Structure 1
Amino acid sequence: MECLQCMERISEYLDKELSESEHQDMQVHLDECKDCRNAMNELAHLREATKLSIDSIPVPPDLANKILFSIQEEKHKTSKNQWITGILLILFSSPLLLFLTRTFTSIFNLIYTTGAVFWRSLMTLITVVSPWFMLSLGILSAVGIIIGAIIILRLIRGFDLNEVLQ
């Protein structure tokens, strides 16, 4: 065994995680190599000093309860954040999905075309017809717009979301 291999496996040797043959190979190398044996002894002393330092720190009696409580709080925050994230995704993506669907584009085109026709008709009628007729036509147009909006709302309410997703 070479020193590099020995150095890579010293921690496993000290933890007794090596197989019997690997342990014997390490033992033979450590008996023959003073540098590796010194490195192993330093690591063993460092481990022992660390263990003694850790053992000397007093553990609060309610530490386990505090840890469990912190975990529960974190889970609650995480689930709350997941709900908020989900709601925000729905709020921000819904208009985008509606905008990108063929049905929404068709409805938007229908509204735009209808509005353009009404506008052109209105401009033509203003130049030709009396103001009273225009007022009554304006009222009828407003009623038509309201009825159109109601029809569009009913169409959107009856809209199947699965159709968009496919």
Structure 2
Amino acid sequence: MKAVEIMMEEHRNIRRMLVKMKKIANDMSLYQSEDMKDIVEFCHGYADEHHHMKEEKILFPEMLKCNYELFEGMINHVMLVEHDNGREHVRNMAALVNDYEEHKDERYLERLSFEMKAYCEVLKEHTEKEDECLYQFAENALSDNAKQRVDALSLEWESLNKERADHFVEVLHHIEKAY
């Protein structure tokens, strides 16, 4: 499925950003305000709004329609819980960046480091589970018609969000060069 190929490429981009986030989290002296804001926006805008929402609105519903009993636990009790966990870390990171910018208190950086590391761990494991298991289940279980629907809807999503997705890939390139 073309949609799965695109989602796996997005996972590779997300994991590339996680590498840089972990580097910064391990040495907060690298903290740069504008870069950190861009990193948080990448996590929110690309990993969640672009990638996770595509899964939640397109792929997961097709999988549940195909075989609810097989996929319900995997999707509702693992994947969606991990999406929500990631969102919580991103909200916390955004708040801590704002708090640090306002107060310049190093304790906010310590907490930010913790949130970044936790987010990195959650998203690394999550994307690996999807690449190695969930997407393979989808490829094997979905009917040809369901695969065509997923591909068509995913390609439409990509078309509508191309400029924004491209922006986030540029943010990734900037962060990779800077760190």
TM-score normalised to the size of structure 1?
A: 0.31
Task: For CA contacts below 8 A with separation 6 or more, give which structure has more relative contact order.
Answer: 2
From the CA coordinates, give the structure whose radius of gyration is larger.
1
- The two structures have a TM-score, normalised by structure 2, of 0.30
**Larger helix fraction of residues:** 2
